[in-house]
């Protein structure tokens, strides 16, 4: 049964975990490195991952013998490397010319949008909220993600190069902090 209150709660929880606004400097930086980012493809890939994890996340990880904590730690390491790239201005991810267009999927769809934090949150909130209300919350967030991805050129022009540089460093540190927290919270459980 759909509940407006649950949908709002789930939407806000996922909005804060996905943090697409906070990821804007990362996305702009990736667009500069790799060229055009396909907003629709990235949103669709993230949506498929989130919906898949909503309905079969525990079973999917179990199929590979992976627990949620290990999955979260792996995602936190990728997020940590992306944060280092933002702060140090170095590129650790190899830009594979044969994989043209994959920058929309990795690392934007996963792990930035549908990362370990988002996917473990989806698995966790299933205990408290109806799957259908979570599904609606996911869809609402995907709409917002798509709008932000589509408007990165406009955001970059409004912020400017100096502002973008500052934001990139600040959000790089925030991304590192989130990665360390995710790592710390899940390493204790293993």
Residue 40's pLDDT is what? 93
Residue 103's pLDDT is what? 59
From residue 134, how far is each of 51, 112, 151 by CA, in Å?
Answer: 9, 19, 26
Whole-angstrom distance, CA of residue 29 vs CA of residue 32 = 5
| Extents of the domains making up the chain | 4-187
Question: What is the DSSP secondary-structure string of 107-126?
Answer: IIIIIIIS-HHHHHHHHHHT
Residue 3's pLDDT is what? 95
- Residue 40 sits at φ, ψ, to 5 deg, of -65, -45
Tens of pLDDT, residues 139-170: 999 999 999 999 988 888 888 878 877 877 88
What is the sign, positive or negative, of the torsion defined by CA atoms of 166, 167, 170, 176? Answer: negative
Residue 97's pLDDT is what? 45
Cα 62 to chain centroid distance, Å, stands at: 22
**Nearest one of 69, 190, 44, 45 to 120, comparing CA atoms:** 69
**Nearest one of 20, 19, 14 to 149, comparing CA atoms:** 20
Return the SS3 of 81. helix
Tens of pLDDT, residues 66-120: 887 888 788 778 778 877 887 887 777 554 544 555 556 777 888 788 987 788 8
Whole-angstrom distance, CA of residue 136 vs CA of residue 8 = 9
Tens of pLDDT, residues 25-67: 878 878 887 778 889 999 999 999 999 999 998 898 889 998 8
CB 54 within 8 A of CB 138: yes
């Amino acid at each position: 049964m759909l509940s407006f209150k649950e949908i709002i709660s789930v939407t806000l929880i996922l909005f804060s975990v996905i943090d697409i606004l906070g990821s804007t400097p990362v996305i702009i930086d990736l667009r500069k490195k790799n060229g055009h980012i396909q907003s629709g493809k990235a949103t669709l890939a993230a949506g498929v991952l989130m919906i898949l994890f909503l309905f079969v996340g525990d079973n999917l990880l179990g199929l590979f013998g992976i627990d949620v904590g290990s999955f979260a730690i792996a995602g936190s390491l990728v997020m940590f490397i992306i944060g280092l790239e933002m702060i140090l201005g170095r590129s650790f991810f190899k830009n594979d010319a044969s994989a043209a267009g994959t920058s929309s999927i990795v690392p934007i769809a996963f792990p930035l949008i549908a990362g370990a934090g988002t996917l473990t949150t989806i698995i966790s909130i299933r205990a408290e909220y109806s799957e259908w209300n979570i599904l609606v919350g996911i869809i609402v967030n995907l709409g917002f993600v798509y709008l932000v991805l589509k408007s990165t050129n406009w955001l970059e022009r409004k912020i400017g190069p100096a502002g973008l540089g500052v934001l990139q460093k600040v959000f790089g540190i925030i991304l590192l902090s989130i990665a360390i927290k995710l790592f710390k919270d899940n390493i204790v459980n293993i």
